[in-house]
Chain A
Amino acid sequence: MDHQQIKEAINRQIGEDPLFTDKDKERFYKNKPNRRQRFPAAPKIVTVLLAFFVLSGPFYTFIKTDWFEQPSSPTQEEKEPVEETPPAPDPDPEEPTHVKVEKLKEVITSIPSKSKVKVAIDRFHGVEVEFEQSTKTENGNEYHLLESYYVFDRHNETGDSSAYIGPMPPTKDDFKRGDVEISLKLDWIESESHNLLREATLLYLSEEGDLIEENYSRSAYHGKFIKVKNPNEPVVMDDLILRSIARSVGKEPDNITKRDLLYLEELTINASHLSGIYEVDEDIEYFKAMQSLFVLKLNQAIIPGELLKEVPYLDQATFIGPTVDDLSRVKEGLQTITYLNLINSSFRGTAEDILELKSLNIVRVDPAVVPNYEDLQFEGMDVRW
């Protein structure tokens, strides 16, 4: 069935004129709950309670005061009020690092409030080492961005201060010396109405002695952490792929580290200047590190399926040139993609080949070379050319 024709016909059936008008907006704003008026008596109750506490304080002091005793030390009275937080259970000082990390991750992924994060950090005696504030304006609204760095030190049992004072992030040696057990960086967006934890990065040593970096972004990776081993380790790859990665992340090829692979979102390998097909054959660990890679374009180049399948969130793939006559070499690694562009490729396979890609929704393919392309449409796939 012709998608556009059906769409237009359904819309004709519903009505040619727009259904959504300013009246809908006006009606919503008229009926929108006023959050401050949800409990109109609240201000009065607060006033009464406040008055009660104000008056009961001096009265209590009056009846309890021993008028013949010496006044107490002023330092005892001027203690800072402490933010009320739920009582935290005593942490087990012998708790392994990975257990603490998992507990912190659990809090981070729970869309926490600032106070909830503070409770978790205090529980493990985390100390804020550095912070940086900036302001950003978007769509006329002003947001405050706050980056906070914390360290957790196994020997710090009070949480008052840390032997480690920076710079952040700590190096692998700082972890090995035991100066830092876990480092945590939190990025908050603060607006008048609420605070949102946008991103979190954890660093710690694994039991095998590798430095592990884990990153959480609220708007990416399906709400899960991505992880890389020894993020500062330089990447040793073939020149063409290294230059392709460098172009993507805006760095010199010699300076590419495994951390860059972790945050690499798009990769284009253009081997059209070569006489043959450029076949990528690199250490599988590098592909495991590419946990942000979303878009892949291969021009006269191919990455075998057994390597591609290690890229967990690959969403879009484009093949150009004589690399995929059918999808047998790559299909294993394309099971997460939702978009596949074969329009400028040598693909001569069938609809069944394409249907083997379980997540695929949109395919660009020449209908002249896939005679049974209607089968794709029958399965609800959007076929474009």
Chain B
Amino acid sequence: MSGHTQTHYTREEAVEYIMDQYGESLKRTIFTYVKNHHTTDDIFQDVLLQIYRKWDRFNGDSQLKTWAMRIAINRCKDYLRSPIHRIKIATDKWREQKDPNYTEQKVVQKEQWDEIAEAILHLPIKYREVMILTFQQDMTQKQIAEATGTPLSTIKTRMQRARQLLREKADEGGIDPWIINK
């Protein structure tokens, strides 16, 4: 549906296509913002409804995935700013919301990559999002700028700062600094 053929789709077909092609990516990205599976499910539904309602406004300027991702990111940020989230965060622990198999799995794998991924997920949101969108969603800096509505130069700076924070984390111990500089 990218590029030249997206104009052929009705809003129902567009949502169906987005669910099939990008549903998993969108949900994983949403999760990295809200860190809660139930909230991820709810926000994902909101995102699908917004895509359904706004389909007429998709003019093909950006790639479909970037456009859908932008809606998801904005919805996540709205949620993080909301009073409901602020109340929830006091009682909700990110570790408790993880995959139940994770602890056992981690014992087995206990790799540096897992440590660094965990460190990324604990970065402040603006640094976390550039790292997640780069590494987990394979988005280019230009696409991230488009999806987050942030200037490209800011994205580049945030990327550098994110790496710097990870290096600091490595200096504190727990992560092999080599892996960040690699």
Residues of A within 8 A of B (CB): 1-3, 5-20, 24-25, 27-28, 31-33, 111, 138-139, 141, 143, 189, 191-194, 196, 198, 218-220, 222-223, 338, 359, 361-362, 374, 378-380, 382
Contacts and interface: CB of A to CB of B under 8 A. Distances in A.
B114 A12 contact: yes
Contacts of B182: 1-2, 374
A380 to B, nearest CB: 5
B31 A19 contact: yes
Nearest to A380: B141
A382 B4 contact: no
Given A14-B28, A19-B24, 18 more contacts: A1-B180, A3-B138, A9-B111, A12-B102, A12-B114, A13-B114, A14-B99, A19-B28, A20-B19, A20-B26, A24-B41, A27-B41, A111-B56, A138-B5, A338-B140, A361-B142, A361-B143, A380-B156
B53 to A, nearest CB: 8
Contact of A11 (B15, B109, B136, B179): B136
Contact of B116 (A1, A189, A192, A379): A1
Nearest to B140: A361
Given A19-B37, A196-B7, A220-B4, A32 B61 contact: no
Interface of B: 3-8, 10-11, 13, 15, 19, 23-24, 26-28, 31-32, 37, 40-41, 44-45, 48-49, 52-53, 56, 59-61, 98-99, 101-102, 105, 109, 111, 113-114, 116-118, 120-121, 132, 134-136, 138, 140-143, 155-156, 159-160, 163, 179-182
B52 A32 contact: yes
A16 B99 contact: yes
Given A10-B136, A223-B61, A189 B8 contact: yes
Contact of A24 (B23, B31, B52, B111): B23
Contact of B113 (A9, A189, A379): A9
A28 B19 contact: yes
Contacts of A32: 49, 52
B177 to A, nearest CB: 11
